[in-house]
């Protein structure tokens, strides 16, 4: 009887051992895997500037040509139609500005601090998630969430100013497939969603070539389709500096 009892105990313990769930990766684990999937630290360090060229498609099929240049924490984005170009830029030093001829304004105008901060986040070549540690932001693992039938990892970045970014990471590629941004613009909370796909390597670093974005809960989305990406193009500082009017 003692032998039978011992055997049953061993069997139950073995079953319990096999039934224990595998521990989910920590936030640090997921960030490290995302970094490796993006191309690794060496590739990111070697990418000093990057240019994206393509088109911006609005609901109803309205299209503009799209050109984005990032360098050294600065960014310049141009969306053009029939010779008119909307320009938004961040100089990498705290200053954001725009030129919007579609509203009849031909001179450069300074952005508010909230808008400039938002543009500054888009200037990062590494992206908000990988830049979080160096900027004093916190990264928290939030388990898993379904996205189009895939049980994605979920991470939240909380910046020092309180703005939040929730990332859904594909468990196979370990690349971002969705980002939910919660920002405070002029005292009002704004939540936007972006879905990313068609990743390609640019200078050894992976970037999405297709991005669909818009306010959370809205069916009105704009699409950015990148047709060409260039690693380390010339990026003179004058392109990012607000011109004198």
CB 75 within 8 A of CB 240: yes
141-174 tens-digit pLDDT:
999 999 999 999 999 999 998 899 999 999 999 9
In sequence order, the β-bridge partners of residue 226 are 54
Q: What secondary structure does DSSP assign to 98-125, as a single string?
A: EE-GGGT--S-EEPPHHHHHHHHHHH-S
CB under 8 Å to 184, separation ≥6 — which residues? 114, 161, 162, 163, 190
| Chain segment 64-108, per-residue pLDDT in tens | 999 999 999 999 999 999 889 999 999 999 999 999 998 888 899
pLDDT reported for residue 184 = 86
Whole-prediction pTM: 0.88
State how far the Cα of 171 lies from the Cα of 144, in Å rounded to an integer. Answer: 10
Distance between CA 132 and CA 94 in Å, rounded? 18
Contact 214, 193 (CB under 8 A): yes
Q: CA-to-CA distance for 190 and 198, rounded, in angstroms? A: 27
Asked if the model's pLDDT at residue 6 lies above 70, the reply is: no
Rounded to a whole number, what is the largest CA-CA distance in the chain?
95
pLDDT of residue 10 exceeding 80: no
Specify the higher pLDDT residue, 193 or 20.
193
Q: How many Cβ atoms sit within 10 Å of the Cβ of residue 86?
A: 18
Whose CA is closest to 88, among 74, 131, 50, 232?
74
Residue ranges and CATH numbers for the domains of the chain are 23-239 (2.50.20.10)
């Amino acid at each position: 009887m003692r032998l039978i009892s011992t055997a049953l105990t061993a069997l139950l313990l073995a079953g319990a051992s096999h039934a224990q769930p595998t521990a989910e990766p920590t936030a640090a684990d997921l960030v490290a895997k995302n970094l490796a999937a993006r191309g690794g630290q060496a590739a990111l360090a070697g990418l000093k500037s990057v240019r994206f060229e393509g088109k911006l498609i609005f609901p109803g099929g309205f299209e503009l040509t799209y050109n984005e240049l990032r360098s050294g924490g600065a960014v310049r984005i141009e969306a053009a139609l029939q010779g008119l170009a909307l320009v938004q830029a961040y100089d990498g030093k705290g200053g954001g500005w725009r030129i919007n001829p579609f509203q009849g304004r031909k001179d450069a105008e300074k952005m508010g601090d909230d808008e400039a901060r938002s543009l500054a986040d888009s200037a990062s070549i590494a992206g908000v998630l990988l830049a979080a540690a160096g900027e004093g932001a916190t990264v928290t693992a939030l388990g898993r969430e379904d996205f189009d039938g895939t049980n994605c990892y979920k991470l939240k970045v909380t910046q020092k100013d309180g703005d939040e970014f929730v990332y859904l990471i594909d468990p196979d590629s370990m690349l971002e497939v969705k980002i939910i941004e919660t920002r405070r613009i002029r005292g009002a909370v704004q939540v936007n969603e972006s879905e990313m796909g068609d990743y390609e390597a640019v200078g050894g670093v992976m970037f999405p070539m297709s991005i669909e974005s818009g306010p959370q809960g809205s069916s009105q989305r704009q699409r950015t389709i990148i047709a060409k990406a260039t690693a380390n193009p010339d990026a003179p500082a004058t392109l990012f500096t607000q011109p004198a009017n």
